[in-house]
């Protein structure tokens, strides 16, 4: 594309309803070099995105991208955030989408009733399209709570969409220097896994502030976050006893037992991060996955992407949570469809990796708090997962 046309395209894109984040826009440099007057069309290297002296994406092979993304994991000792206790302060933030004011106030009241202090973010209800606020505002608010010595836990108010947009704006060294509980699920998958991999800090895939803290949810939350001993063994809750696969009791897909560190979360986010510096490393890990409102062919496509990318084959075990509303439906994309069970069994059984479907993880009422980065054992025969080490200090 000629430079003049490219400039026009960027003016239109930047001036549109959805602004390109400043940190990303700064990487795109068009025009002419000040010294040589030569045309410039390069990715500007910035410490938050490209290390000094690193090749650009066009020069860098996929293997090098993976190695560079994994370096923090390889070189830093694992940290565990301090345990929560009664009176600990939870900061409620919206790193992705926001909520209405009443939901935020109800969430704060729920956490206070559980014995915690609460700080509310400024951007919980201020909407910017489908985002709670502009990227820079959401990232700065998150980092301000990281730096706040009075805050013991940072909890997302909800998921939605938007965490991936702020990843280049987060300081993972500062997150490591101020270890505290970071928790959420759904879109927050894109936050808790990079915190583990880049900060080498155990983070948590679990309830958001607007979740229902029933007995099962609260028991797992307290065992994971309020005790410096291993949380122990968990099986499914009593929430699901339906006839169809997605709503039936937990099922063994492949028998066996495996141990590894926990990584994963929402399937859509796990696949979306592939090919980025935040791609999840599944080598020797227990990969847990959940999904909501995706037809079987879409689940098929995402699982197939993990297979083609070598992600599933490299796992020690696979712990599937609930794939809520993911059965084939009338009026769906295809008149005839495979069932969710056919997709899951058809893609995972041939891998011969211990696999279970139906853990209490995902867009459901009763949910586990899963420590991302902690060592765990998956027993596919017993359909249990055991947290083998303390996730907090």
Q: Give the pLDDT confidence score for residue 242 in this predicted structure.
A: 86
Element (H, E) at 68: helix 62-75
Q: Give the pLDDT confidence score for residue 224 in this predicted structure.
A: 98
Q: Give the pLDDT confidence score for residue 29 in this predicted structure.
A: 39
pLDDT at 27 over 90: no
How far is residue 201's CA from residue 178's CA, in Å, rounded to a whole number?
10
Mean pLDDT of all residues in the chain? 86
pLDDT tens per residue across span 84-108: 999 999 999 999 999 999 999 999 9
**Mean per-residue pLDDT for 142-169?**
98
pLDDT tens per residue across span 203-249: 999 999 999 999 999 999 999 999 999 999 999 999 998 888 888 99
pLDDT at 18 over 70: no
pLDDT at 365 over 90: yes
Architecture of the domain spanning 89-216: 3-Layer(aba) Sandwich (3.40)
- The neighbour count for residue 271, using CB atoms within 10 Å, is 20
Please report, for the chain, the start and end positions of each structural domain, with discontinuous segments joined by +.
3-60, 89-216, 228-387
Q: Give the pLDDT confidence score for residue 267 in this predicted structure.
A: 98
With contact defined as beta carbons under 8 Å apart, do 9 and 37 qualify?
no
- CATH for 228-387 is 3.50.30.60
Q: Is residue 37 classed exposed, middle or buried when 0-12, 13-18 and 19+ CB atoms within 10 A define those classes?
A: exposed
Q: Is residue 171 classed exposed, middle or buried when 0-12, 13-18 and 19+ CB atoms within 10 A define those classes?
A: middle
Q: Give the pLDDT confidence score for residue 1 in this predicted structure.
A: 54
pLDDT tens per residue across span 262-295: 999 999 999 999 999 999 999 999 999 999 999 9
How far is residue 242's CA from residue 370's CA, in Å, rounded to a whole number?
24
pLDDT at 31 over 70: no
Share of the chain above pLDDT 90, in %: 75
Cβ-Cβ contacts under 8 Å for 219 (sequence gap 6 or more) = none
- Predicted TM-score (pTM) of the model is 0.82
**Mean per-residue pLDDT for 68-72?**
44
pLDDT at 36 over 70: no
With contact defined as beta carbons under 8 Å apart, do 168 and 138 qualify?
no
pLDDT at 56 over 50: no
**Which residues participate in catalysis according to the annotation?**
186, 290, 363
Is 4 strand, coil or helix?
A: helix
89-216 and 228-387: same fold?
no
**Mean per-residue pLDDT for 177-194?**
98
Q: Which of 329, 102, 68 is nearest to 197 (CA)?
A: 68
Look up tokens 């079987």; give the residue.
296
Q: Give the pLDDT confidence score for residue 6 in this predicted structure.
A: 46
How far is residue 53's CA from residue 176's CA, in Å, rounded to a whole number?
24
Q: Give the pLDDT confidence score for residue 40 in this predicted structure.
A: 38
Assigned token pair, 317: 């075990």
Phi, psi values for residue 60, rounded to 5°: -90, 130
Q: Give the pLDDT confidence score for residue 2 in this predicted structure.
A: 53
Q: Give the pLDDT confidence score for residue 303 in this predicted structure.
A: 98
pLDDT at 64 over 60: no
Q: Which of 104, 165, 183, 91 is nearest to 129 (CA)?
A: 165
Assigned token pair, 84: 């929560």
For CA atoms 345, 347, 353, 354, the dihedral sign is negative
pLDDT tens per residue across span 291-309: 999 999 999 999 999 999 9
Q: Give the pLDDT confidence score for residue 126 in this predicted structure.
A: 78
**Mean per-residue pLDDT for 171-180?**
98
How far is residue 50's CA from residue 393's CA, in Å, rounded to a whole number?
33
Higher pLDDT pick, 69 / 351:
351
Look up tokens 């836990």; give the residue.
153
pLDDT at 62 over 80: no
Q: Give the pLDDT confidence score for residue 12 in this predicted structure.
A: 39
pLDDT tens per residue across span 331-348: 777 778 999 999 999 999
Look up tokens 């709670």; give the residue.
132
Phi, psi values for residue 287, rounded to 5°: -95, 120
């Amino acid at each position: 594309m000629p430079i003049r046309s490219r400039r026009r395209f960027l003016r239109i894109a930047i001036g549109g309803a959805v602004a390109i984040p400043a940190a990303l826009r700064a990487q795109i440099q068009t025009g002419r070099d000040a010294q040589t007057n030569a045309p410039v069309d390069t990715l500007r290297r910035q410490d938050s995105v490209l290390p000094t002296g690193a090749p650009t994406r066009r020069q860098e092979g996929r293997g090098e991208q993976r190695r560079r993304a994994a370096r923090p994991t390889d070189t830093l000792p694992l940290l565990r955030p301090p345990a929560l206790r009664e009176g600990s302060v939870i900061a409620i933030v919206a790193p992705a989408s926001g909520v209405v004011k009443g939901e935020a106030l109800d969430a704060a009241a729920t956490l206070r009733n559980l014995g915690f202090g609460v700080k509310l973010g400024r951007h919980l209800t201020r909407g910017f399209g489908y985002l709670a606020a502009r990227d820079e505002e959401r990232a700065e608010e998150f980092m301000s709570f990281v730096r706040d010595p009075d805050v013991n836990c940072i909890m997302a108010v909800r998921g939605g969409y938007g965490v991936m947009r702020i990843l280049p704006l987060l300081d993972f060294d500062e997150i490591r220097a101020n270890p505290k509980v970071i928790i959420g699920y759904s879109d927050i998958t894109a936050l808790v896994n990079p915190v583990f991999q880049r900060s080498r800090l155990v983070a948590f895939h679990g309830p958001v502030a607007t979740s229902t803290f029933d007995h099962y949810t609260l028991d797992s939350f307290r065992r994971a976050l309020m005790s410096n001993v291993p949380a122990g063994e968990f099986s499914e809750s009593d929430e699901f006893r339906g006839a169809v696969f997605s709503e039936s009791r937990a099922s063994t897909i492949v028998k066996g037992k495996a141990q590894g560190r926990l990584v994963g979360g929402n399937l859509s986010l796990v696949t979306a991060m592939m090919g980025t510096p935040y791609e999840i490393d599944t080598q020797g890990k227990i990969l847990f996955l959940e999904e909501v409102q995706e037809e079987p062919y879409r689940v098929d496509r995402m699982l197939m992407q993990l297979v083609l990318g070598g992600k599933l084959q490299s796992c020690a075990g696979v712990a599937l949570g609930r794939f809520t509303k993911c059965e084939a439906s009338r009026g769906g994309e295809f008149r005839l469809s495979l069932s969710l069970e056919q997709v899951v069994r058809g893609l995972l059984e041939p891998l011969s990796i211990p696999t279970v479907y139906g853990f209490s993880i995902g867009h459901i009422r009763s949910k586990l708090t899963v420590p991302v980065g902690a060592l765990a054992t998956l027993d596919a025969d017993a359909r249990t997962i055991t947290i083998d080490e303390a996730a907090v200090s």
